[in-house]
């Protein structure tokens, strides 16, 4: 039972990353590799600040701001210097590896301070792993609320329009460059915030902890879409949370079946590939079924 609660708790916290990724992947309609750098950036920033005596909330705020700056760097390369988005993300991600090392001073650092955000605000009085669930729900609710409000503003609609049809957006006077900056900055800010939370949950930060996080985020988004297709944008944000929990439960089941934990990234990639291929597989299956019926 505690394993399931722990998995759900992780699902909640990791879904925050997926919500951040959703802004670039689904709203702006491009994959942003920066997240593999901004996630550990948030982690190393938060752990360094907490270790040097700052409050956990301050550490998370600075992690968020640093994440926004990482998004700004990618946006500058992409929207101002016309570097293709994949390459822009990879460049920022690569540069962030060194920056993260500079911030941390070494490859990894443990959180030796007894207090972290999971043990504050009375969360330590909750049963094991329930603190992650409660904190996750509070942060997710806050982010989704703010995101829905933002997306319903004129600026938010302009960001959506930019991702939807840049030609149209530009022709009606939307400054699509600014919208890309906003999207990338907010997205990477949220991803870095998640990095700061995960590092506190795990009790350490590592400059390599960003490897594969894009797959985790995308899996949550895609699983959510497979379970709940064709839902309004506000509901889609909630489906990401469900997708994230389902993804964690799938991973847990796979590991319980006896797979080696070293194969975790491989398993993650296979799960995502299967989810991405599901619509095609379903279509092929239905086609075969239809043809089968016709033959009879």
Partner 1 sequence: MKPLLEIKDGIKTIYNDDKNLNILNNINLTINPKDFLVVLGTNGAGKSTLMDAITGTNDLTSGKILLNGEDITDEKLAKRSRHISRVYQDPKSGTAPRMTVAENLLLAKRRGLPRRLHLRHLKENMPEFQKLISSLPTLDNRLNTFTEKLSGGQRQTLSFLMAIIQRPELLLLDEHTAALDPQTSKDLMELTNKIILEKELTCMMITHNLSDAMKYGNRLIVLKKGEIILDLNQAEKDKLKENDLLQYF
235 contributes a contact to partner 1 by CB under 8 A: no
Shorter beta-carbon distance to partner 1: residue 27 or 216: 27
Helix (H), strand (E) at residue 250: helix 233-256
User: If you search the block for the tokens 């729900």, which residue do you land on?
Assistant: 137
Residue 214 in tokens: 């894009």
Which of 2, 52, 82, 167 binds partner 1 (CB under 8 A)? It is: 167
Neighbours of 203 (CB within 10 A): 13
141 contributes a contact to partner 1 by CB under 8 A: no
Q: With the CA atoms of 17, 203, 258 and 256 taken in that order, what torsion angle do they form, in degrees rounded to the nearest 10?
A: -70
Distance of alpha carbon 215 from alpha carbon 114, whole angstroms: 32
Shorter beta-carbon distance to partner 1: residue 105 or 173: 173
Q: Which residues pair with 110 in a beta bridge?
A: 204
165 contributes a contact to partner 1 by CB under 8 A: yes
Size of the site for partner 1 (CB under 8 A): 21
175 contributes a contact to partner 1 by CB under 8 A: yes
Which of 149, 253, 269, 273 binds partner 1 (CB under 8 A)? It is: 149
Shorter beta-carbon distance to partner 1: residue 85 or 160: 160
Which of 17, 60, 91, 174 binds partner 1 (CB under 8 A)? It is: 174
- Which residues, in sequence order, are CB contacts of 287 under 8 Å at separation 6+? none
By CB under 8 A, name the binding residues for partner 1: 149-150, 152-155, 157-158, 160-161, 164-165, 167-175
């Amino acid at each position: 039972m505690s394993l399931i609660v722990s998995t759900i708790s992780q699902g909640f916290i990791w879904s925050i990353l997926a919500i951040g990724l959703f802004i670039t992947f689904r709203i702006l309609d491009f994959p942003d590799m920066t997240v593999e750098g901004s996630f550990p950036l948030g982690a190393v920033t938060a752990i360094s600040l907490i270790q040097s005596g700052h409050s956990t909330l301050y550490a998370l705020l600075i992690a968020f701001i640093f994440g926004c700056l990482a998004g700004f760097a990618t946006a500058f390369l992409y929207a101002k210097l016309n570097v293709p988005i994949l390459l822009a993300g990879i460049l920022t991600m690569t540069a962030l590896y060194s920056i993260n090392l500079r911030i941390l001073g070494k490859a990894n650092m443990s959180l030796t301070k007894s207090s972290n955000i999971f043990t504050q605000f009375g969360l330590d009085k909750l049963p094991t792993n329930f603190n992650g669930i409660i904190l996750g729900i509070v942060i997710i609710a806050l982010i989704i609320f703010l995101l829905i409000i933002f997306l319903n503003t004129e600026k938010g609609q302009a960001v959506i329009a930019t991702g939807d049809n840049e030609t149209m957006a530009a022709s009606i006077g939307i400054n699509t460059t600014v919208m890309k900056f906003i999207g990338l900055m907010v997205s990477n800010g949220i991803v870095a915030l998640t990095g700061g939370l995960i590092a506190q949950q795990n009790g350490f930060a590592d400059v390599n902890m960003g490897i594969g996080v894009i797959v985790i985020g995308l899996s949550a988004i895609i699983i959510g879409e497979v379970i709940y297709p064709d839902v309004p944008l506000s509901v889609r944000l909630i489906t990401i949370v469900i997708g994230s929990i389902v993804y964690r439960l799938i991973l847990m089941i796979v590991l319980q079946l006896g797979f080696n934990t070293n194969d975790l990234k491989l398993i993650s990639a296979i799960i995502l590939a299967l989810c991405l291929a599901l619509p095609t597989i379903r279509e092929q299956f239905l086609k075969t079924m239809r043809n089968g019926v016709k033959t009879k």
